[in-house]
Amino acid sequence: MKEHETVVQLSMPADAQFIDVARLTLYGLAAKMGFSYEEIEDMKVAVSEACNNAVLHAYNGRGGVIHLRFEMRADALSIIIKDEGKGFDYKRAAKQAAPLSAKPLEDVKAGGLGLFLMEALMDDVTVTTKGGTEVRLTKFRHRGEGEHAHDSISPSSVQEQA
């Protein structure tokens, strides 16, 4: 663990009915860190996509586990979604799916756009496919004018309270 970083970990069954648990955990942590409603909604969609991919593809319908790790830093929140199922060729999948604008509509396949959605919604997305699939989603805190002022936690304030 890096200095000034707080980590929350969660393991849950790779079952669609538990994706809400990941979303609720994310909401609670991101709200306490001071992210805006819109930023939180974007993160929830990206995390749902990553968890859904693990549920649908990692274990071929057999039971499995999804591990989530929330790394809270002063400037960012990273969410790592890891499964221990079968990995996939991320580079090949990315190459086959893009660019969509050059394809006629009838040639576009449904599905397979989750990674691009995650990349559009998050500031940084990294996929590792050794020993399962690990998706690292990062959203940086953008402080600006008009930001709502409310109590928020930072990794240093958590350590000070302990």
Q: What pLDDT, on the 0 to 100 scale, is given for residue 79?
A: 98
Identify whether 48 is part of a domain: yes
Q: How far apart are CA 116 and CA 46, in angstroms?
A: 10
Task: Check residue 150 and give its pLDDT.
Answer: 45
Regions of the chain with pLDDT less than 70: 1-3, 87-113, 143-162
Is residue 45 in some structural domain?
yes
Instruction: State pLDDT tens for residues 45-76.
Output: 999 999 998 988 888 777 899 999 999 999 99
Based on the structure, what is the number of domains in the chain? 1
Under 8 Å between Cβ of 44 and 26: yes
Which strand (E) or helix (H) includes residue 4? none
Q: What domain range includes position 128?
A: 6-161
Establish if 1 belongs to a structural domain.
no
CATH number, residue 96? 3.30.565.10
